[in-house]
Amino acid sequence: MKVAIIGCGFMGFTHAAAYQAMANVELVGMCGMRERDRMRVVERGIPYFDTLEQMISEAKPEVINICLPTHLHKEMTVKAASAGIHVICEKPMAGNLADAKEMIQVCKRNKVKLFIAHVLRFFPSYQNMTAHVRQGEIGDLGVINTRRVVAHPGKEPGSWYNDDAKSGGVVMDLMIHDTDFVSSLLGEADTVYAMKRKTAEKQYALVTIKFTNGTLANLEALWGYAGPLTYSCRISGKKGVIRFNSESSSSIRMIKDVEKEKVSGADSGSAAEAVRLQSPLLRDPYQTQLEHFIACIKDGTEPVISEYDAYNALLLSLAANHSAEIGQPVKLSTFATGGEV
Look up the CATH number of the domain holding residue 53: 3.40.50.720
**Averaged pLDDT, 244-260:** 71
Confidence category of residue 156, pLDDT binned at 50, 70, 90:
confident
Q: Which domain holds residue 224?
A: 121-281+314-331
- Whole-number pLDDT of residue 247: 84
- State whether 298 and 198 are in the same domain: no
What is this structure's pTM? 0.90
- 58-84 burial string, b = 16+ CB within 10 Å, else e? ebebbbbbbbbbbbbbbebbbbbbebe
The whole-chain average pLDDT of the chain stands at: 91
Residue 258's pLDDT is what? 54
Same domain for 15 and 35, yes or no, is yes
The pLDDT of 219-248, averaged and rounded, is 95
pLDDT of residue 16: 97
Q: Which of 154-158, 173-177, 267-271 has the lowest mean pLDDT?
A: 267-271
Classify residue 264: in a domain, yes or no: yes
Residues 125 and 112 in one domain: no
Instruction: Specify if 338 maps to a domain.
Output: no
When mean pLDDT is compared across 34-48, 71-85, 240-254, 297-311, the lowest value belongs to: 240-254
pLDDT band for 157, please (50, 70, 90 cuts): confident
Same domain, yes or no: 14 and 102: yes
Question: Per-residue pLDDT for 241 more than 90?
Answer: yes
CB burial of residue 139 (10 Å; 0-12, 13-18, 19+): middle
Same domain, 268 and 290: no
pLDDT attached to residue 270 = 38
108 lies in a domain?
yes
- Whether 25 is in a domain gets the answer yes
Q: What is the DSSP string of 107-141?
A: HHHTT--EEEE-GGGGSHHHHHHHHHHHTTTT-SE
Which string of b and e fits 160-170 if b means at least 16 CB within 10 Å? Answer: bbbebebbbbb
Q: What is the pLDDT of residue 340?
A: 54
DSSP string over 222-245: EE--SSS-EEEEEEEESSEEEEEE
| CATH assignment of the domain containing 269 | 3.30.360.10
Does a structural domain hold residue 339?
no
Q: Cα-atom radius of gyration of the chain, to the nearest Å?
A: 21
Q: Which residue has the higher pLDDT, 273 or 95?
A: 95
Do both 87 and 133 map to the same domain? no
- Over residues 157-174, mean pLDDT: 94
Domain count, the chain: 2
Do 221 and 266 belong to one domain? Answer: yes
Cis peptide bond prior to 92, omega within 30° of 0: yes
How much is the average pLDDT of 122-130?
A: 95
Co-location of 299 and 324 in the same domain: no
The 10s digit of each residue's pLDDT in 179-215 is 999 999 999 999 999 999 999 899 999 999 999 999 9
